[in-house]
Structure 1
Amino acid sequence: MSERMHPADAAWLQMEEPTSLMVITAVLWFDGPVDWERLTDVVRERLVERYPRFRQRVVPGGLLGTARWEDDPAFRLETHLRRTRLRAPGGRAELEKRVGESMGTPLDFSRPLWELHLIQGYEEGGALLMRVHHCIADGISLARVLLSLTDERAGGGGRAEDFEEAEDASGTLARLLRGARKVATSTRSAWKRGAELLSEPIQLMDLAVEGARGASALSRLLTLMQDPPSPFTGELGRVKRVAWSKPVPVGKVREIGHGTGSTVNDVVMAVVAGTLRRYVEARGKVPEDLRAVVPVNLRPLNEPIPRELGNRFGVVFLPLPLGVEDPVERLWELKRRMDRLKRSPEAAVVFGILSAAGMAPAVLERGAVEVMRKKTSLVLTSVPGPKRPVYLAGARLGGVMFWVPMAARLGLGLSTFSYAGHVTLGVAADAGLVPEPRDLIEDFEAELDSLAEAVRESGHSHPLH
């Protein structure tokens, strides 16, 4: 079987560089040992047999052609599902080092672009490292695919499909998502019209602009000022490092939100802004606002994931208020900026840009990526997981961390993952720019406590205008 790759997926192939791999990374850790035979059966039945992309390799399209999916005649599950053992003493530091090392290792393009490693010897249980190229699917879809391997009970049964919502999908946000999904559907329909679009890829962009009131949003994207220099930007190397926080009870975050009229996501984003401010100040720099690329899911979480997977997301550019000193004022300013973005069609427009870029020559796409790199400083994602504890191959899942690629040659990726009533922050960074990502984790935990205390002391329940 051979199938043309959707241009939004092909864009991620063209962005691949030795110092910036377009690979989504997830690490799961367990309270007990994972049964190897049972894991193998689960991966075969629920991943490989259900989703064809995990049995297909990429066939490059050449100078002007489009890449294609092709069944791999030599596919063997054991080449993608492997067992390794963690270095002693087998704690979080050793696991973080292993995950960081994987982020600098490219996948084998002669085979389907994914791998799963069962890491034994981690604390009292084990860990699972999954790496999937972004051309196969976006982060939200892959998180759902990965968690579809789990069960509600140790003995099996009761698939985990009840996900935490990272944001309140009501009001203006719901209207934004409906419009963006309509644009995504229109773009897919246009792609099916076939070869005529190869000569005029701008038609895809036209659909996005017309369908989502995108002209003003596109103008805003093109006229954004460059981000100021910071410790998070610069030349990249091949060495990457990661760290993640202790799980934070969602109740603690929600309490801060109730005290300020903010959502859980507003609070988490504000804490991230405060974290970056602390990090910059500690290195003798004056904190200035920095823009984060924030992916926005264009697929409803209550709809089944299509067998062909694929990328159906846009991004918005969120200016993080590092320049605001007071933590409560910083939260309110962040909330104002988030509310403005919720009323914008920006995410749908960027989906159209990605679709058009996937059909453009690589040199043109690299130019677009360079423009994006100058206007942003980091990638910031929020991934919802199951509301209740789940099990994989009989082992109880203790926690999850998940990172999307740091596209546009960015050197810092921050990700929050919600699971079983807790939120965890993960840091992935270029080692030459952020040599000790654990510093950012410590700043995050300190900033969360500082904001909670500041909200209690302020006594305000609504933003001041």
Structure 2
Amino acid sequence: MKIKTGRQEPAGNKGEHDDEPLTPTARLFTAPEFNCYITAVIGLKSKIKRDVFIEGLEQTLLKHPRFSSILVNDNSQEQKWVRTKVVAEDHVIIPKIELENANADAFLESYVSDLTTIPLDTSKPLWEVHLLDLKTSDAQNVVVLKIHHSVGDGMSLMSLVHACTRKTSNHEELPSLPNENRLSSKSMAGYSRLIWMVMLVWNTLCDALKFIATTMFLKDTDTPIKGDFRLSKADVFGSSYQKFPRLFNRTVDLEDIKLIKNAMKMTVNDVLLGVAQAALSEYLERRYGEKEKKAGEHESKRNSSNMLKEIRLRACLLVNIRPTTGVQDLANMMAKGSKCKWGNWIGYMLFPLSLALHDDPLEHLRRVKSIIHRKKNSLQVLLTFTSTKILIKMLGVVALTMHFQSYMNKMTIYLTVDPTAICDPHQLCDDLEESLRSIKAAVQERNATQ
């Protein structure tokens, strides 16, 4: 069955934007059991002018191949991106907001959560923009982007958003981003490089074996944050699926995280992982303690602490494996086409969380640093990139995901939860904030005694 796409090939550019088949990762994101979206919230300091915003879209995003293509199945059932004529107004949604006495932040949280349960119209390019005339605690107006994950991954989309903006000091100039300094193996001495290569092979082999064991039989312990994996596909993707997921967020000071990072000689990501591990330990200890109290057991604090040590719980850490793409490359892609890599270039590593209640909260950071340092010297991420389908079979329906996004000296933590498993997500947000405070206090105390 032929599909009319309204495709118009510019004169002289025939073949420049041929139909493209979906990559294996993009096909995974469109699978019914893993239909995945990216939702981003952008706060603005001034009112949104609809006509100006739409004009900006026409000059930027609408010229990008993925944002001007629809997803179709040809006669051989192969999914392809097919260019089409895009009407910007069809992708811009301006809801009527009546707050009355409602809290604006709570309204935004509920709005974004509800948005995740509504599928995109597949007869159009798979993205939409919501303009909210809503004054929150952080912004005068809010823009919500909803993009299907098959279009691209988070890193490429954040870079693309930057490429659609201009400097406030010069409206004709693209924003500049800091360069990333990475240690190259070529800079190592011969002997050190040999040791590095031996360890790389050994760590990769160990990680590959652990990955195979995980997919075959080494399952995580059933915990409140694992969710109910006995749900049938009809339950998960039928009417009951509309009950979840729900989104919650908490914003903390990025300077606190940098202080810990510098004191412990770690990265920001290492600190965040340590804070998450400490918070999950506190959260699960409380959940198990409450369960034991209801059962009438004594010494619930001690029993629940012992339970934590027996839990096998692993996090799936997504890692960007794309060579660094500059803002200018993406701007060129929208202007005249570019050879910069687009799409989903993400692998993942399995990280064993060490759940425990330590007298010294810095112990969480030390364990994270040790494990991450070893995993960085491994090719596990590249291996998992080529076997992404196993992710679904291994993880099933995920009850909890955490996203960390820094901007303007703030770090916002977003939780996506299944409320049937995690009934008190605000408490988990509190645990994350408290864990950061306790780790910061421990660092300051250690520095004061040195």
Normalising by structure 1, what TM-score?
A: 0.73
Counterpart of 1:300 in structure 2 is 323
Counterpart of 1:222 in structure 2 is 212
Alignment pair present for 1:118 and 2:131: yes
Confirm or deny: 8 A CA contact 1:116 1:131 kept in the other structure.
yes
Distance 1:46 1:94, change over 3 A: same
Q: Which moved more, 1:64-73 or 1:442-451?
A: 64-73
Counterpart of 1:351 in structure 2 is 385
Counterpart of 1:278 in structure 2 is 282
Confirm or deny: 8 A CA contact 2:251 2:410 kept in the other structure.
no
Counterpart of 1:418 in structure 2 is 406
Counterpart secondary structure, 1:417: strand
Cα deviations by residue, 1:364-401 (Å, 9 ceiling, x for unpaired): x5xx345421xxxxxxxxxxxxxxxxxxxxxxxxxxxx
- CA distance in 1 between partners of 2:112 and 2:357 (Å): 34
Confirm or deny: 8 A CA contact 1:24 1:139 kept in the other structure.
yes
Report the RMSD for the aligned CA atoms in angstroms: 2.9
Alignment pair present for 1:137 and 2:152: yes
Counterpart secondary structure, 2:27: helix
Distance 1:212 1:42, change over 3 A: farther
Q: Read off the aligned partner of 2:42 and give its amino acid letter.
A: L
- CA distance in 1 between partners of 2:74 and 2:321 (Å): 27
Confirm or deny: 8 A CA contact 2:203 2:374 kept in the other structure.
no
Q: Read off the aligned partner of 2:209 and give its amino acid letter.
A: S
- CA distance in 1 between partners of 2:42 and 2:444 (Å): 35
Confirm or deny: 8 A CA contact 1:217 1:349 kept in the other structure.
no
Confirm or deny: 8 A CA contact 2:252 2:433 kept in the other structure.
no
Alignment pair present for 1:47 and 2:61: yes
Counterpart of 1:76 in structure 2 is 87
Per the TM alignment, residue 46 of structure 1 is displaced from its structure 2 partner at its CA by 1.3
Per the TM alignment, residue 415 of structure 1 is displaced from its structure 2 partner at its CA by 0.7
Confirm or deny: 8 A CA contact 1:277 1:322 kept in the other structure.
yes
- CA distance in 1 between partners of 2:354 and 2:140 (Å): 40
Per the TM alignment, residue 459 of structure 1 is displaced from its structure 2 partner at its CA by 4.8
Counterpart of 2:426 in structure 1 is 438
Which is strand-richer, 1 or 2?
1
- CA distance in 1 between partners of 2:400 and 2:132 (Å): 25
- CA distance in 2 between partners of 1:340 and 1:117 (Å): 42
Counterpart of 2:267 in structure 1 is 263
- CA distance in 2 between partners of 1:254 and 1:121 (Å): 31
Counterpart of 2:183 in structure 1 is 170
Confirm or deny: 8 A CA contact 1:86 1:94 kept in the other structure.
no
- CA distance in 2 between partners of 1:229 and 1:369 (Å): 18
- CA distance in 2 between partners of 1:171 and 1:327 (Å): 33
Confirm or deny: 8 A CA contact 2:282 2:357 kept in the other structure.
no
- CA distance in 1 between partners of 2:179 and 2:141 (Å): 24
Alignment pair present for 1:231 and 2:224: yes
Distance 1:9 1:147, change over 3 A: same
Counterpart secondary structure, 1:27: strand
Decide which structure has the larger Cα Rg and report it: 2
Which is helix-richer, 1 or 2?
2
Distance 1:57 1:427, change over 3 A: same
Confirm or deny: 8 A CA contact 1:241 1:437 kept in the other structure.
no
Per the TM alignment, residue 460 of structure 1 is displaced from its structure 2 partner at its CA by 9.9
Counterpart of 2:349 in structure 1 is 316
Counterpart of 2:13 in structure 1 is none
Cα deviations by residue, 1:31-54 (Å, 9 ceiling, x for unpaired): 2212211111111211111x1111
Distance 1:230 1:348, change over 3 A: same
Distance 1:293 1:35, change over 3 A: same
- CA distance in 1 between partners of 2:320 and 2:39 (Å): 18
Alignment pair present for 1:372 and 2:394: yes
Aligned residues: 372
Per the TM alignment, residue 333 of structure 1 is displaced from its structure 2 partner at its CA by 0.4
Cα deviations by residue, 1:92-138 (Å, 9 ceiling, x for unpaired): 11101101111111112222111111111233611111111111111
Q: Tell me which of 137, 142, 166 is aligned to 1:127.
A: 142
Confirm or deny: 8 A CA contact 2:320 2:347 kept in the other structure.
yes
Cα deviations by residue, 1:138-166 (Å, 9 ceiling, x for unpaired): 1110111123222321873432341586x
- CA distance in 2 between partners of 1:253 and 1:94 (Å): 29
Alignment pair present for 1:242 and 2:247: yes
**Structure 1 stretches of at least 4 aligned residues deviating more than 6 Å after TM superposition:** none
Distance 1:120 1:280, change over 3 A: same
Distance 1:213 1:7, change over 3 A: farther
Q: Which moved more, 1:131-140 or 1:449-458?
A: 449-458
- CA distance in 1 between partners of 2:174 and 2:164 (Å): 8
Counterpart secondary structure, 1:109: coil
Cα deviations by residue, 1:28-83 (Å, 9 ceiling, x for unpaired): 1122212211111111211111x111111111367x7431111235x321111121
5+ residue gaps, structure 1: 176-210, 355-364, 374-407
Distance 1:44 1:90, change over 3 A: farther
Counterpart secondary structure, 1:245: strand
Counterpart of 2:14 in structure 1 is none
Confirm or deny: 8 A CA contact 1:289 1:323 kept in the other structure.
no
Confirm or deny: 8 A CA contact 1:9 1:311 kept in the other structure.
yes
Confirm or deny: 8 A CA contact 2:227 2:418 kept in the other structure.
no
Q: Read off the aligned partner of 2:354 and give its amino acid letter.
A: P
Counterpart secondary structure, 1:323: coil
Confirm or deny: 8 A CA contact 1:86 1:95 kept in the other structure.
no
Q: Specify which structure has the bigger relative contact order, considering alpha-carbon pairs within 8 angstroms and separated by 6 or more residues.
A: 1
5+ residue gaps, structure 2: 1-17, 189-200, 229-235, 289-303
- CA distance in 1 between partners of 2:172 and 2:357 (Å): 49
Alignment pair present for 1:10 and 2:43: no
- CA distance in 2 between partners of 1:248 and 1:169 (Å): 26
Counterpart secondary structure, 1:348: helix
Per the TM alignment, residue 87 of structure 1 is displaced from its structure 2 partner at its CA by 4.2
Q: Read off the aligned partner of 1:254 and give its amino acid letter.
A: K
Confirm or deny: 8 A CA contact 1:247 1:424 kept in the other structure.
yes
Percent identity over the alignment is 24
